[in-house]
Amino acid sequence: AQSVAQPEDQVNVAEGNPLTVKCTYSVSGNPYLFWYVQYPNRGLQFLLKYITGDNLVKGSYGFEAEFNKSQTSFHLKKPSALVSDSALYFCAVRGNTGFQKLVFGTGTRLLVSP
């Protein structure tokens, strides 16, 4: 069965600094990987996905993620954090064979200080 680990409950970063939110996964076969963001009292918003191809995926709001097959990781990154990036970030994975449900990590709260 597939699983996702987000090892950090919270990440703190100063505005203007680069940020990284970590995600590792376990899945049979090749993974389909996703990042979502959740603002308070809102639904999840899709940021980016990796299906195949280039290991560096660019998404919304200046976010990008790097797929690393050998380390089974899909870390979310942004070169320069904004206070408005403060939110809850979810990594999700599913396998590529048949129907497999999308499994979400427990979420990482990003706090960007001014």
The residue among 59 and 81 lying less far from another protein, judged by its C-beta, is: 59
Least separation, in Å, of the C-beta of 3 and another protein?
12
Tokens 């089974």 — which residue?
72
- By CB under 8 A, which span of 13-21, 65-73, 78-86, 98-106 interacts with another protein? 98-106
Residues 6+ apart with CB under 8 A from 109: 9, 10, 11, 87, 88, 89
Least separation, in Å, of the C-beta of 26 and another protein?
16
Q: Which of 5, 16, 6 is nearest to 85 (CA)?
A: 16
Q: How many CB atoms lie within 10 A of CB 88?
A: 17
The residue among 49 and 77 lying less far from another protein, judged by its C-beta, is: 49
29: alpha, beta or left? (left if phi > 0; alpha if psi -120 to 50): left
Q: What are phi and psi of 58, to 5 degrees?
A: -105, 140
Least separation, in Å, of the C-beta of 66 and another protein?
18
Least separation, in Å, of the C-beta of 16 and another protein?
29
Q: How many residues bind another protein (CB under 8 A)?
A: 21
Binding residues (CB under 8 A) for another protein: these are: 32, 34, 36, 41-46, 49, 51, 90, 96, 99, 101-107
